[in-house]
Amino acid sequence: MFGDIGAMCFLAYSFGCTSFLFAKTGGCTTMKCPKCKTEIDDNSITCSNCGFDIGLYKEAYSEINKKKLYNLDSEEKTCPECGLRVDSTADSCPDCGYPFISQNNQSQDNKKSNRNIKKKVIIVISVVLVGIAIWYAWFASTRCAWSGCFEHKASNSSYCTYHKNYLSGYSSNYSSNSLSSSKSKFDLRITNIDVDTNSAATYCTGTITNNGNSTFKFVKVKGSFKDNSGNTIETGDSYAVGSEGLSPGESTSFRISCSRNTRVKDCDVTIYDYD
């Protein structure tokens, strides 16, 4: 009896020592299967649950990357071919051999393409903005310098015909006898001057507006047709308003003609007389 008890104690003691030594030497180290995440022995050749080739998987990584094999929180990516979760730095899938290098190259190409598209968009926007700036500079250079007025400049002046005459007081276009003292000489405004030439004549069209408080009749306008240098080469006159009169706030159009001359590019229109 005592001999049997002693033998059992000896076997228990031996088993404990063996287990202790096995644990100390790393024999009990485990890992998770990269495919099904089942806990398996580190020395396993294949996964006991899904049959995954552990040996081939280990060979696919360097000694440094083996550390990530046991760290499930490391960055991983999914193989699009077999669905295996593999390390993000892997060049190919260790299970099916799917190459990730082409994916990485495609991603880089996409990023490069996006950068090129952004550059092209920036260039197009820049060209449009420069075009708008040039157009605005040209537009401003052809308009009257009077604040709030957008009429075309008169020849050799920074102002339209109306404001040019306003600033000069119409000194060269009126006589004291031709103006009625009851009406202001600045009540009539000429706008929308346009010059054109057809097969028969050269003509100027425009609009005259009564900004005063009295009715004007028999308003006669005179046009000085000029070339690109501002030299007067033709003149003409016409009645813009007749006996019907132009009441306060009303506007009417007029036309002044001269002999056909293709050198005419502009026309200065002034009010010659009225009643």
Q: What is the pTM of this model?
A: 0.39
Cα R_g (the chain), whole angstroms: 49
In the chain, what percentage of residues exceed pLDDT 90? 26
* Mean pLDDT value across residues 121-142: 89
- How confident is the model over 183-194, as pLDDT tens digits? 666 788 888 989
Position 110 pLDDT exceeds 60 = yes
Rounded CA-CA distance 187/178 in Å is 15
Structure token pair of residue 78:
């999914």
* Mean pLDDT value across residues 165-179: 47
Q: How many residues does the chain have?
A: 275
Rounded CA-CA distance 57/96 in Å is 11
Q: What is the pLDDT of residue 237?
A: 92
Nearest to 78 by CA among 114, 58, 103, 44: 103
Q: What is the pLDDT of residue 34?
A: 78
Q: What is the pLDDT of residue 61?
A: 56
Tokens 């094999």, located at residue: 69
Range ranked top by mean pLDDT from 8-12, 71-75, 128-132, 150-154: 128-132
Position 88 pLDDT exceeds 90 = no
Residue 143 dihedral angles phi and psi, to the nearest 5°: -105, 160
In the chain, what percentage of residues exceed pLDDT 70? 72
CA distances from 252 to 31, 54, 163, 178, 183 (A): 97, 97, 19, 22, 19
Average pLDDT, the chain: 75
